[in-house]
Amino acid sequence: MIRNALIAAAALTAVVAPATAVADPIIGTPPPCVGASDLAGADFNVKKCGVSDVDQHRAGFENNGGAYCGPASLYNVLHYWGHQKDAPVGWLTTKVGNLDPKDPADFGVITNSIGRIGVDAKYTSDGTNLTNLRKAWDIATKPARDAGWTTSTGVVSTNDHPDFAGDLAKKLNEGPLQLVYGRYGAGPATGSLQRGGGHIVTVVSATGSFGGSTMKLKLADPGRAADSGQGNYLYTQSAYESLDVTLTKRTFKEYVPVKDDENTREDESLEPGTYRWVTRWELDGPRYVSETNRHMVEGFNWFDMAK
């Protein structure tokens, strides 16, 4: 598959090729991104341009970055603020606005930056959570606050926000979001579902209706590079993609097992779990097909900055 690289032959061809009129289209060149910020009326259409799509799977990370979706998706958010808004975000001498994920020369520094986010977000082998990722955002944006910027962040849950679609659109209008979904399989009781892991992605676009029960998103997904697992994918940045998904509001009974307490001799996980009714938004899309799990969105982190 395609990976960003400097290919001498391609560069030579570009030099000797016949001149092309400025107005002529270049075959294979994607159209420029056109942002949207329409929140008037009953429907919404919001799109952010300039959001990166960095890969989480990298050499040097535990399990080659299999659980680094949270840090990588937060890097995408920081890239937007550093490049589109010229905010001085980063760590010590590393400034996100000076880095280009598509430049092979910056791959190592960006890998270190994603790793730094992981440290600040208290990464474990299970990954990261939205709460600690907001703390990592606060650390990465401290240089901006020191320079006179104001920053804010928060979380919106599907369970306690009746107009989740409208809230998502409004917060996306401020800046790209971190969206978390759980992978749910069948629970012990008929019709129940049980969570078995999750994933975090970056939201760059949303269309739908206020108060609606469905909406369409475009995602920058750090774990779904088209060439994942092929060639030297752990050492290069994949081509950017915007993945189309549809979210549909669902209410169902969730089974919550008991977690084992490491500080006791008993194995509490053997005790019967509990059931609860929850509201989630089911995520479907061409690149999110599973025969065993259903992808249920649980909430998102939002971020904002101003000067």
| Cβ-contact 152, 192 below 8 angstroms | no
pLDDT per residue as tens digits for the range 258-298: 886 777 777 766 788 999 999 999 999 999 999 999 999 99
Cα-based angle 216, 240, 72 (whole degrees, multiple of 5): 85
Asked if the model's pLDDT at residue 19 lies above 60, the reply is no
In which domain, by residue range, is 295 found? Answer: 36-233+240-306
Is 89 part of a structural domain of the chain? yes
With tokens 């089974």, the residue in question is 255
Q: The pTM is what?
A: 0.88
Is 225 part of a structural domain of the chain? yes
Determine the pLDDT at residue 154: 98
Asked if the model's pLDDT at residue 110 lies above 80, the reply is yes
Is 123 part of a structural domain of the chain? yes
- What 3-state class would DSSP assign to 39? coil
Q: What is the CATH number of the domain that holds 63?
A: 3.90.70
User: CA 83, CA 34: separation in Å to the nearest integer?
Assistant: 16
Tokens in use for 75? 């890097």
173, 3, 207, 170: which is closest to 80 by C-alpha?
173
Is 23 part of a structural domain of the chain? no
**List of E strands, 96-213:** 150-157, 177-186, 193-209
Determine the pLDDT at residue 270: 72
Is 1 part of a structural domain of the chain? no
DSSP structure string for 59-103 = TTSGGGGTT-HHHHHHHHHHHHHHHHS----EETTEEGGG--TTS
pLDDT per residue as tens digits for the range 52-109: 999 999 999 999 999 999 999 999 999 999 999 999 999 999 999 999 999 999 999 9
Phi, psi of 53 (to 5 degrees): -140, 65
| Cβ-contact 137, 74 below 8 angstroms | yes
| Cβ-contact 204, 220 below 8 angstroms | yes
User: CA 160, CA 109: separation in Å to the nearest integer?
Assistant: 39
User: C-alpha 193: how far from its chain's center?
Assistant: 24
Looking at the 3D structure of the chain, how many domains does it have? 1
User: C-alpha 132: how far from its chain's center?
Assistant: 15
Is 173 part of a structural domain of the chain? yes
Is 9 part of a structural domain of the chain? no
What sign does the CA torsion over 57, 62, 66, 70 have? negative
Is 213 part of a structural domain of the chain? yes
Fill in the DSSP letter of residue 110. Answer: H
